[in-house]
Structure 1
C-alpha cells in the first residue's frame, strides 16, 4: 500500500490519531515516550552516555510493539519518521495535560 502524502504536520496529525485509534495503543505510546525522554535526559545530564542511545530503542520499541500487537497496523515511523516523532511527543503532552480527549473528539475519534 502506498504511503499517504502530507504537506504539513497539521495534515498528518489526524492521520496519526487514526493510526492510534485504540486507547491501549495510545497508552503504550505515551508511556514509552515519557520513559524514553527520562532515559534520554538521564543519559545527557548524569550519564552513563549509552542511555542516550537506549532512549530511542525504548521509545520506538514500545510504539512498534503496540502497533503489531494492539493496533495491528504499520507504524507511521516507517513512512513519516520526523512527523511520527513529533506526533508521539504531542500525544504524550496532550495526555499529560488532560487535553487528549477533546483532541480525539475534535478529530472524530
Structure 2
C-alpha cells in the first residue's frame, strides 16, 4: 500500500498509470527537455571524459521532471514510489515521442495528448 493507494504490482499496470501522471502536454515537454539534457550530458561526458557531466545528468532529468509535476501537473512524481519503473518510463516516453508514437500510445489509454 502506498500513500496514493494500492501498490502497482507489474510494469504493465504501471505504464498507463505513468502516462496518466503526465497527462498535460506541458508536463511531457518539461520531461522531454530534461531527458534530452540527460542524454546530451552523458554523451558529452563520454566524448570529453569529464566526469562532472555524468554527475550533472541526473540533476537535469529530475529538476525538469519535478518542476513539471509540482507546477504544471500538480501531482506527486511517480519516481518517489516507483523509482526504477519511472526512470524506464521516462526514457520510453521520450523515445516514443522522438519516433512519433507517443500520441497513439496516449490515446490507447484514453489520455488526451
TM-score, with structure 2 as normaliser: 0.91
Alignment gaps of 5+ in structure 2: none
Please tell me whether residue 89 in structure 1 is matched to residue 101 in structure 2.
no
Equivalent residue, structure 2, for 1:100: 102
Q: How many angstroms apart in 2 are the aligned matches of 1:34 and 1:42?
A: 12
TM-score, with structure 1 as normaliser: 0.94
SS in 2 for 1:24: helix
Q: How many angstroms apart in 2 are the aligned matches of 1:56 and 1:4?
A: 28
Q: Deviations over 1:39-92 (max 9, x none)?
A: 012112323111101000000100000001100000001000000001100000
Q: Tell me the C-alpha RMSD between the 2 structures.
A: 1.1
Please tell me whether residue 69 in structure 1 is matched to residue 100 in structure 2.
no
Q: 1:3 to 1:34 in 2, by over 3 A?
A: farther
Alignment gaps of 5+ in structure 1: none
Comparing 1-10 with 45-54, greater Cα deviation is found at 1-10
TM superposition outliers: structure 1 runs of 4+ over 6 Å = none
Paired residues, number: 109
Q: Give the CA deviation at 1:5.
A: 1.5
Q: Give the CA deviation at 1:3.
A: 4.8
Equivalent residue, structure 1, for 2:11: 9
Please say if residues 25 and 66 of structure 1, whose CA atoms lie closer than 8 Å, have aligned partners that are also in contact: yes
Q: How many angstroms apart in 2 are the aligned matches of 1:8 and 1:98?
A: 26
Please say if residues 3 and 79 of structure 1, whose CA atoms lie closer than 8 Å, have aligned partners that are also in contact: no
Q: How many angstroms apart in 1 are the aligned matches of 2:86 and 2:13?
A: 12
Which structure 2 residues correspond to residues 2-81 of structure 1 after superposition, within 5 A? 2-81=4-83
Q: Give the CA deviation at 1:4.
A: 3.9
